[in-house]
Amino acid sequence: MIKENTGLEQKELSHLDAEGRIRMVDTSAKPITVRTAEASGFVKMAPETVAAIRDHRTPKGDPLETARLAGIMAAKRTAELIPLCHPLALSHADLQITLQDDGAQITSTASTSAQTGVEMEALTAVSVAALTLYDMCKAIDRRIEITDIRLERKIGGRSGEWHREKS
Amino acid sequence: MIKENTGLEQKELSHLDAEGRIRMVDTSAKPITVRTAEASGFVKMAPETVAAIRDHRTPKGDPLETARLAGIMAAKRTAELIPLCHPLALSHADLQITLQDDGAQITSTASTSAQTGVEMEALTAVSVAALTLYDMCKAIDRRIEITDIRLERKIGGRSGEWHREKS
Amino acid sequence: MIKENTGLEQKELSHLDAEGRIRMVDTSAKPITVRTAEASGFVKMAPETVAAIRDHRTPKGDPLETARLAGIMAAKRTAELIPLCHPLALSHADLQITLQDDGAQITSTASTSAQTGVEMEALTAVSVAALTLYDMCKAIDRRIEITDIRLERKIGGRSGEWHREKS
Amino acid sequence: MIKENTGLEQKELSHLDAEGRIRMVDTSAKPITVRTAEASGFVKMAPETVAAIRDHRTPKGDPLETARLAGIMAAKRTAELIPLCHPLALSHADLQITLQDDGAQITSTASTSAQTGVEMEALTAVSVAALTLYDMCKAIDRRIEITDIRLERKIGGRSGEWHREKS
Amino acid sequence: MIKENTGLEQKELSHLDAEGRIRMVDTSAKPITVRTAEASGFVKMAPETVAAIRDHRTPKGDPLETARLAGIMAAKRTAELIPLCHPLALSHADLQITLQDDGAQITSTASTSAQTGVEMEALTAVSVAALTLYDMCKAIDRRIEITDIRLERKIGGRSGEWHREKS
Amino acid sequence: MIKENTGLEQKELSHLDAEGRIRMVDTSAKPITVRTAEASGFVKMAPETVAAIRDHRTPKGDPLETARLAGIMAAKRTAELIPLCHPLALSHADLQITLQDDGAQITSTASTSAQTGVEMEALTAVSVAALTLYDMCKAIDRRIEITDIRLERKIGGRSGEWHREKS
């Protein structure tokens, strides 16, 4: 059931070579194409924590903006964090964070013109934005949970467009 | 309902000053104490993906070890990723990853002797280990989800020991 | 005329050894003390540019906050940028940015408990915050100038407290 | 009066979206062109400090070379420091530092083939070279000031060539 | 005797300008071509140390895999370490480590499509993999030596293919 | 024959846990002591290459100084490169490079007050200085070899002083 609208899933883990050793995929022969990826995640908070954030969204400093910036900056450093991820020159990274009564919904977009996709950049942006929200709120709520980090959409490259089925 | 066994939760977001500006907490006056934090998270996978990882846990290369190393290395760089997090000299970081039929359970521990806690280091380790698993498996399963990243336990510092209530 | 209220200036460049080679100062034998440094700088802008920033200080995103965060994050990485600077665990870094009719005044504070001072951290924070303001405004004003980056005050260490004379 | 010889200044801050949120500019659709930027700055020193540097420009170690190297290395890491700056593969970065009786004049050049300009790389190189000079001389002169950091010239991209008017 | 099968060695140090100042080579005018480099090195160990590593090559953790990963990750950060090295987007980096009775033989390959070669990336990968092996074995053998780090082969760019003569 | 003047070598690889998994050693319970390590290495060059370097040791730029600086800066970032290495605040790092007819001899010293030793910092400094020399000379000599990187001496910590036997 893991196939969806592309039908091109591989059977093998791409980061292991024929002898089972960990490897970086060789993208030397791939064409440079425009690629975009979208990801999302949720930071589950107590209502009091959401209220505290809402109270502090002032012109002088919005906790959500700090998390957005942290996510954008982390996207640029994805290849330093994920061992087998290719370095690439991001042409764009963006995050949206919207408060809900039970937490914060985070969505991200990352784009590049490269020989490899930007899924990891989009997912890393969401993860670090979520961690930053945790950091800023942990003094009032240590029970915050980061959940549902996932790829939503992927455009470009050999397999064309893929989007997650609505559940 | 966010208080648990410590009773010392603050009411205010610690990373905002009196005028609502984002700030780094000043720990200059805090004593240096031994601090430990434990965190956990789950990488939800299709059974076929779990099977593919199990097949590749060979002496020459185990995908779970790559994720563990990535998490340990990321823990050391937490203060570069989380804008208001204090740099500190980690004395220990460790991760355990155990495969289950529906994914991989990740737990982490981080320790230091410092003026500030290591919750963010433990949570960052889990997050980056989870992202690395995603990266290694994404060619066979783009629908993997990273969920339930949370602090499990925290020892040391002004508020003593805290552990998450079993739900 | 470079002596002020401490009278303890050295005669030799501390980063050159007896044979004239560049060196890192050896702080192994110095005691750990609390140290603080304050620095400042000014970003000179056209009045129209100041007006554009004022117009955008909305609850959803304040350019000055982005610059403040960039400065705080850069302070933590000072030893990576300045070749002979010692790595240290900052206990605090803060910046204030105030708009004036002809630009933005930036002041910073950095603190640590260490064997060496934090002047470079305070100065790096001001510099990177200023560069970030330049980056955010350069599409409307390429003629912005960054001026008057200087140390204002220094507390702790062998030479005690020093502050810049008012000119 | 901020227009000069290009006439293409925008009216809006490019790093804020329609709703006033901080954003990275999306360069995905821009063509790759050769781009160069030149920047300059001045490190104002007491004559005794300039003399001390002159005395130490020996074959075994020149403080100005250390500053030059620090600037070149920092140019390569600009996108890590400036939150909304695009990562790019610099093809060249260079600095010149010339001593004068009242300080050190720094000029930089940065080049790349990319979808975005290298102004920030040139300005970051000057800033970090200046900070490094401060660091190397601070034991003999804490009153050093870093001034007049500015863009001098910019070639390539949509707006063609721009150069700063002589004042 | 330093010429081999290319005959294109320069006479001058490329990283010094006409006046003897250190410089980064300007690659702006070079064409983008596919480039590959291979390097090797040897970690000389006591037989007992080799035996200890052999004993621990279990499915749960192989010291050689840790060293391989460290080498791959370091290759991606070469331009941060080597002052005058150009940043580039590696399309591939790989290492092989084979145990021998007297130590571990390391070989690496690095590839990119860029205006400059990847020799330094291949050599950095070998060096950091070797240092990581040292780190993992130093508790049982402080006398380990890292030797014979050298370029084996180089493909692409102006000078075409070069390979080291067998000695 | 791997024991020397301390007699305290362990039998087990310290970076593997009881189940054979890679781990970071937990130093939380170790006392903070002053620690120093010395390492060395050799860059084997053709006589013409040594001559070219000698020719360029001018007041305006000495290739050996660039390599020394690169080594010092790399020492500060050792824990980012070596996966299981503890981050620590170096109090000193220094390198000496002396030209010989057949290459360059590099020695390094690193010091800290910490719960763990600085062998890896000293060895990393030598390795990156050697790689930098390679980079600066590779246009005239691709056959340069980096050899004999080893620990010379180690002071402080549980096992007291250790120095390499002269061979």
CB–CB contacts below 8 A, B to E: 26
pLDDT tens-digit readout, A92-104 = 999 999 999 999 9
CB atoms within 10 A of CB F43: 29
CB atoms within 10 A of CB D158: 10
Token duo for residue A150: 């996932």
What is the DSSP secondary-structure string of D76-109?
HTHHHHSTTPPP--EEEEEEEEEEETTEEEEEEE
Q: Rounded distance, CA D68 to CA D40, Å? A: 13
Check CB contact under 8 Å for A26 and E68. Answer: no
- pTM equals 0.93
Q: B10-24, C31-45, E71-85: which has the minimum mean pLDDT?
A: B10-24
pLDDT tens-digit readout, A38-87 = 999 999 999 999 998 888 765 556 789 999 999 999 999 999 999 999 99
Give A54-121 as a 3 state SS string: HHCCECCECHHHHHHHHHHHHHHCHHHHCCCCCCCCCCEEEEEEEEECCEEEEEEEEEEEECCCCHHH
pLDDT tens-digit readout, E59-94 = 556 789 999 999 999 999 999 999 999 999 999 999
**Chain D residues with CB-CB distance to C58 below 8 A:** 20
Of E65, E97, A149, which is closest to residue B64 (Cα–Cα)?
A: E65
Q: Rounded distance, CA D71 to CA D66, Å? A: 9
Q: D14-18, E11-15, E45-49, F40-44: which has the minimum mean pLDDT?
A: E11-15
Out of E58, E66, E73, closest to residue B59 by CB: E58
Out of C20, C69, C82, closest to residue D83 by CB: C69
The one catalytic residue among D62, D94, D102, D135: D135
Please give the mean pLDDT across all residues of chain C: 88
- What integer pLDDT is reported at residue B8 of this predicted model? 38
- Cβ–Cβ < 8 Å for A41, A150: yes
- What integer pLDDT is reported at residue B40 of this predicted model? 98
Domain presence at residue E56: yes
Domain presence at residue F59: yes
Q: Does residue F69 sit at the D interface (CB-CB below 8 Å)?
A: yes
Q: What is the DSSP letter of C16?
A: B
Q: Is C33 helix (H, G, I), strand (E, B) or coil?
A: strand
The total number of residues written for chain B in this structure: 167
Domain presence at residue C26: no
Rounded-to-5 percentages of helix, strand, coil across chain C: 25, 30, 45
Q: Rounded distance, CA E27 to CA F141, Å? A: 20
Domain presence at residue B120: yes
Out of B34, B36, B93, closest to residue F24 by CB: B93
ipTM of the complex: 0.92
Residue D83 region by backbone torsions, left for phi larger than 0, else alpha for psi between -120 and 50, else beta: alpha
Q: A56-70, C4-18, F152-166: which has the minimum mean pLDDT?
A: C4-18
Domain presence at residue F84: yes
Token duo for residue E10: 């320069």
Domain total in chain D? 1
Q: What confidence tier does F14 reach under pLDDT thresholds 50, 70, 90?
A: confident
In this prediction, residues B37-63 reach a mean pLDDT of: 86
- Cβ–Cβ < 8 Å for D19, D139: no
User: Looking at per-residue confidence, does A103 or A23 come out higher?
Assistant: A103
Domain presence at residue B167: no
- What integer pLDDT is reported at residue A3 of this predicted model? 35
Of A63, A46, A81, A80, which is closest to residue A132 (Cα–Cα)?
A: A63
Q: Does residue E18 sit at the D interface (CB-CB below 8 Å)?
A: no
Domain presence at residue D39: yes
Q: What confidence tier does D157 reach under pLDDT thresholds 50, 70, 90?
A: confident
Residue type for C30, please? K
Q: Does residue E60 sit at the B interface (CB-CB below 8 Å)?
A: yes
Q: Rounded distance, CA D67 to CA E133, Å? A: 34
Please give the mean pLDDT across all residues of chain A: 88
Q: Does residue C149 sit at the D interface (CB-CB below 8 Å)?
A: yes
pLDDT tens-digit readout, D1-60 = 333 443 334 567 788 787 778 889 999 888 889 999 999 999 999 999 999 888 876 555
pLDDT tens-digit readout, B101-142 = 999 999 999 999 989 999 999 999 999 999 999 999 998 899
Q: Does residue D16 sit at the A interface (CB-CB below 8 Å)?
A: no
- What integer pLDDT is reported at residue B2 of this predicted model? 35
Highest mean pLDDT range out of D89-93, E6-10, F30-34, F49-53? Answer: D89-93
- What integer pLDDT is reported at residue A59 of this predicted model? 52
Using CB atoms, list chains with 3+ pairs below 8 Å to chain B: A, C, E, F
CB–CB contacts below 8 A, B to C: 45
Q: A94-108, C142-156, F23-37: which has the minimum mean pLDDT?
A: F23-37
Domain presence at residue B1: no
Residues of F with catalytic roles:
135
Predicted confidence (pLDDT) at residue D156 exceeds the cutoff of 50: yes
- What integer pLDDT is reported at residue A15 of this predicted model? 81
Q: Rounded distance, CA B56 to CA A21, Å? A: 9
Q: Rounded distance, CA C82 to CA C88, Å? A: 13
Q: Residue D114: give its domain's CATH number.
A: 3.30.70.640
How far does B67 lie from chain E, in Å, by closest CA?
Answer: 11
In this prediction, residues C10-19 reach a mean pLDDT of: 74
Q: Does residue B57 sit at the E interface (CB-CB below 8 Å)?
A: yes
Q: Does residue B128 sit at the C interface (CB-CB below 8 Å)?
A: no
Q: What is the DSSP letter of B99?
A: E
Question: Could you tell me the sign of the dihedral formed by the alpha carbons of D116, D119, D124, D125, in that order?
Answer: positive
Q: Rounded distance, CA E58 to CA E56, Å? A: 5
Out of E63, E135, E145, closest to residue F82 by CB: E135
Check CB contact under 8 Å for B84 and C76. Answer: no
Host domain of residue A130: 33-159
Predicted confidence (pLDDT) at residue F2 exceeds the cutoff of 80: no
